[in-house]
Structure 1
Amino acid sequence: MAEIAVTGLGLLTPAGAGVDATWRRVCEGGSTVAATHADLAGLRVDFCCAIPELDMSGLGRRTVYRLDRFTRLALLAAREALADSGLDAASWDGARVGVVMGCGLGGAATWEKQHARLLERGPAAVSPLLLPMMLPNMVAGEVALAFGARGPGCVTSTACASGATAISVARDLLTSHQCDVVIAGGTESLNTPLIVTGFANLGALSTRCGDPAGASRPFDADRDGFVMAEAAGILVLERAADAAARRRRPRALLVGCGSSNDAHHPTAPHPEARGAREALHKALDDAGFAAGDVDHVNAHGTATLLNDTMEAKAISAVLPDGPPVTSTKGVLGHSLGATGAVEAALTVLAIEHSTIPPTANLDSPDPAVDLNFVTKTALHQPVRAALSNSFGFGGYNVVLAFRAV
């Protein structure tokens, strides 16, 4: 199968605006959790990881007004990714450019705000922009509109694997020659009272309100749930031969994808990691990697009791040589539908910089979790082949395989 070049990256995360700001903070290993977020005051969980104040004036006042935050984040990240790729949207053949975005829910903030208006002031107060603002599919449409991408477009919704699923679908569009370029990634902004309360009542969130900076603890014995976050991650993907033809050196190559479903439980992963192991094997086979070839695993690592135990079983079983493992959710929190794309981008950067970031707050690894974790400080070593794991409610498992150029 054709190798796919990653020629552009764009990131907006709680670590900052842009790839460089995010990479620097992730390598430093410091938490980005904001204590007592204003929108969450008084709730059982009142903290989250939020993107620092953004300058959105470049999008135009009218665009900012009519779009929910999750779409604005995607547009800004896509701008950075396209600039990074060296492609010119003004001169490309838009019919050969696709857009695939991952998003778990869509415009929840708009939904909650407009529902409150309905209850308080009646139907006339509800914005006519409600549906185009909140529908998750609109993010791919808005990115296509902004950059004249007239090829295939869609939004994937596989919960917390959505961003990784989008990248996998984008690869299929390129290898089948339906597109020459695909703008792919994920976006999510769900730090809202209703959504945070829903996850908290489900028992998925950390309730460490007295120590929010230490709340996201992937694989730690003292973990008690994930920390909500918002983010957008965008990759510009092309066939490697096309990138070479325009003399563009890729940041890394996407060489394999593996997907599966647990078919086990709506929210709990399979206890023996059946689906996760299957996805890992598929990704290795697709990439042509032997287990011993893998130099790094960017783990899903949510800091929930069930996920981390399950994922550790899968990694140990499929990769017995013990490659260095990290979870960047200790720094960035869990951005749900965006996280698979954000972590794919960070895996590309690990390859490019020969650096594996540490797992923040991993002070005492769970005795039941036996992996070669990177902790405290970044590990500097060649990363020739790496995997990025993503798992989601509904039993979705997606593993992306990257290698150095």
Structure 2
Amino acid sequence: MENQDVVITGMGFVLPGAVGNDEVWRKLEAGVSQLSRLPDGIVGGQGETGQCRAGGRVWEFDHREHIPDLPDTFAKRYSREILMALSAVEQAWSDAGLRDYQSELCPERTGVIGSSSRGPVEWWSQTSSGSAVDAACPPVEIDHAVFASLAGSPATLSAIRLGARGTVTTLSNACVGGHQAIGFASQLLETGNADVMVLVGHETPFVPEMLQIYSSPTAGVLSRSDGDPATTIKPYDRNRDGFALGEGAVAMVLETREHASRRKREPYARVCSTVSLNEAGHATRMDLSGRFTADMILRATDAAGFAPGDIDYICGHGTATRYNDLAESRAMRLVYGDRVDRWPPLGSIKPVFGHLLGASGLLNCAATVQMMCHQRLAPTINCVDVDPECDHDHVQDGARSTRVERAMSLSFAIGSQSSAVTLEAA
């Protein structure tokens, strides 16, 4: 049997300052950062010198607007992370038109794959300390915390709500987990082992321990800026000094094109290829020559049946760390040559919502799909003084209307991991 086309038919979001497709796109297109100043309870006392004080928090969120049928007795047993994930999944499921089609689905051919870098650290932190980190984190009843304490609960509880009896699992592989979830789901769909797969990335990293870990000299990836939170993350800029964390949930529905056609559903985009590799090099730093990333880009385009020049836009990992941005730019030069005017734009959306870790790959892909749908590139905000070693098009001058038919998303992670996903407008 020939491999089947895999398409994206639904998306859902619970992000800092933006819930749902339309609101997320408005923030991305306008380039409005949703980062804010973190309270002392999260940073730790008055905050240590040099510790990042900015982050993308979901301050106002009511799960009842998205899953009103969830009994309060259940909701009290679920963490904020679970409720955000269930809400994003419900949005994506409805966006795909599957709520009205659910009785026609084969439960055994419907699955859910989650992605989270750290799992429920917010719950574990407030449980070990005996109090909530701040007002945004209501306590979960300890007697019923078996769900709140498990990293896989968002996927399994989503499966129960959707009646999905196929493959249900959760990946915990840092920042490449979202891409790998797309790859895993695509393999099941392409080979005829599933009809519909729901993906959900979720992260709630705002606890003192996480900020200490990422601010440590060994990691050194969080920005030390103490100025306006909105300008903290500066991808590809000469003055970049790291990222700020973000929280929330991103969901996506994948299905075979045949299945979508059968129910007369027009897809957003096609997943053309996924590549996930390990550099087997430095545990915390990318290959700075760019050769490994360049090879991955070429593998991804080859697997998709594209030439590198067919790519209209690359949604970079763009963390605003010294090495990540430099390695991405060097890889671009190896793939496309010295004529930077012939390179596709390389952008980053992290300054808008922060770095969502295990959900970041899914967010990158979902944002890229939105750009395809609108035929408009979201800007890379805060890229004001472009680093001479990253001196190419980052869409730094505001949103741009242009042809976006084929695109790529890049992700990199601690542990020498790299991944790429190629997409094509449907």
TM-score range for the pair, normalised by the shorter chain length? over 0.9
Amino acid at match of 2:173: T
Query: Does 2:174 correspond to 1:169?
Result: no
1:40 positional shift: 2.2
User: How far, CA to CA, are the matches of 2:74 and 2:211 in structure 1?
Assistant: 27
Contact kept? 2:347, 2:395, Cα under 8 Å: yes
Amino acid at match of 2:423: F
Aligned to 1:75: 86
Inter-CA distance 102–369: structure 2 relative to 1 (3 Å threshold): same
Q: Single out whichever of 59-68 and 393-402 deviates more from structure 2.
A: 59-68
Aligned to 2:287: 270
Query: Does 2:65 correspond to 1:50?
Result: no
User: How far, CA to CA, are the matches of 2:11 and 2:193 in structure 1?
Assistant: 22
Contact kept? 1:11, 1:234, Cα under 8 Å: yes
1:126 positional shift: 9.2
Residue from 13, 16, 25 that aligns with 1:14 = 16
Contact kept? 2:235, 2:319, Cα under 8 Å: yes
Amino acid at match of 1:190: P
Query: Does 2:36 correspond to 1:29?
Result: no
RMSD: 1.8
Contact kept? 1:29, 1:376, Cα under 8 Å: no
Residues 59-103 of structure 1, C-alpha deviations (whole Å, 9 max, x = no match): 432333222222221111111101110113641221110111111
Aligned to 1:192: 207
Q: Single out whichever of 4-13 and 65-74 deviates more from structure 2.
A: 65-74
- Structure 2: which 5+ residue stretches go unaligned? 132-139
1:273 positional shift: 2.9
User: How far, CA to CA, are the matches of 1:218 and 1:256 in structure 2?
Assistant: 26
Task: Spell out the pairing of 1:302-317 with structure 2 (5 A cutoff).
Answer: 302-317=319-334
Residue from 198, 221, 243 that aligns with 1:226 = 243
SS in 2 for 1:5: strand
User: How far, CA to CA, are the matches of 1:80 and 1:6 in structure 2?
Assistant: 14
User: How far, CA to CA, are the matches of 1:152 and 1:70 in structure 2?
Assistant: 22
Aligned to 2:262: 245
1:284 positional shift: 0.6
Contact kept? 1:167, 1:185, Cα under 8 Å: no
Residues 80-134 of structure 1, C-alpha deviations (whole Å, 9 max, x = no match): 101110113641221110111111111001111111239xxxxxx9924445312
SS in 2 for 1:132: coil
Inter-CA distance 355–52: structure 2 relative to 1 (3 Å threshold): farther
Residue from 383, 398, 401 that aligns with 1:380 = 401
User: How far, CA to CA, are the matches of 1:398 and 1:230 in structure 2?
Assistant: 21
Query: Does 2:193 correspond to 1:178?
Result: yes
User: How far, CA to CA, are the matches of 1:365 and 1:250 in structure 2?
Assistant: 36
Q: Share of identical aligned residues, percent? A: 32
Give the TM-score, by structure 1 length: 0.94
User: How far, CA to CA, are the matches of 2:169 and 2:336 in structure 1?
Assistant: 33
1:340 positional shift: 0.5
Residue from 100, 103, 111 that aligns with 1:98 = 111
1:334 positional shift: 0.4
Amino acid at match of 1:363: V
Q: Single out whichever of 303-312 and 317-326 deviates more from structure 2.
A: 317-326
Amino acid at match of 1:47: A
Inter-CA distance 163–6: structure 2 relative to 1 (3 Å threshold): same
Aligned to 1:260: 277
Task: Spell out the pairing of 1:285-296 with structure 2 (5 A cutoff).
Answer: 285-296=302-313
SS in 2 for 1:401: strand
Contact kept? 2:112, 2:159, Cα under 8 Å: yes
Aligned to 1:157: 172
1:372 positional shift: 1.6
Query: Does 2:124 correspond to 1:111?
Result: yes
- After superposing on structure 2, the runs of 4+ consecutive aligned residues of structure 1 that deviate more than 6 Å are none
Aligned to 1:121: none
Amino acid at match of 1:385: R
User: How far, CA to CA, are the matches of 2:264 and 2:336 in structure 1?
Assistant: 35
1:185 positional shift: 3.2
Q: Single out whichever of 208-217 and 39-48 deviates more from structure 2.
A: 39-48
User: How far, CA to CA, are the matches of 1:260 and 1:250 in structure 2?
Assistant: 28
State how many pairs are aligned. 399
Aligned to 1:138: 153
User: How far, CA to CA, are the matches of 1:160 and 1:64 in structure 2?
Assistant: 28
Contact kept? 1:260, 1:276, Cα under 8 Å: no
Aligned to 2:134: none
- Structure 1: which 5+ residue stretches go unaligned? 119-124
1:285 positional shift: 1.2
SS in 1 for 2:76: helix
Contact kept? 2:52, 2:244, Cα under 8 Å: no
Aligned to 2:374: 353
Give the TM-score, by structure 2 length: 0.90
User: How far, CA to CA, are the matches of 2:336 and 2:172 in structure 1?
Assistant: 28
Contact kept? 1:40, 1:47, Cα under 8 Å: no
User: How far, CA to CA, are the matches of 2:394 and 2:189 in structure 1?
Assistant: 34
Residue from 74, 93, 97 that aligns with 1:86 = 97
Contact kept? 1:96, 1:178, Cα under 8 Å: yes
User: How far, CA to CA, are the matches of 1:13 and 1:74 in structure 2?
Assistant: 10
Contact kept? 1:164, 1:185, Cα under 8 Å: no
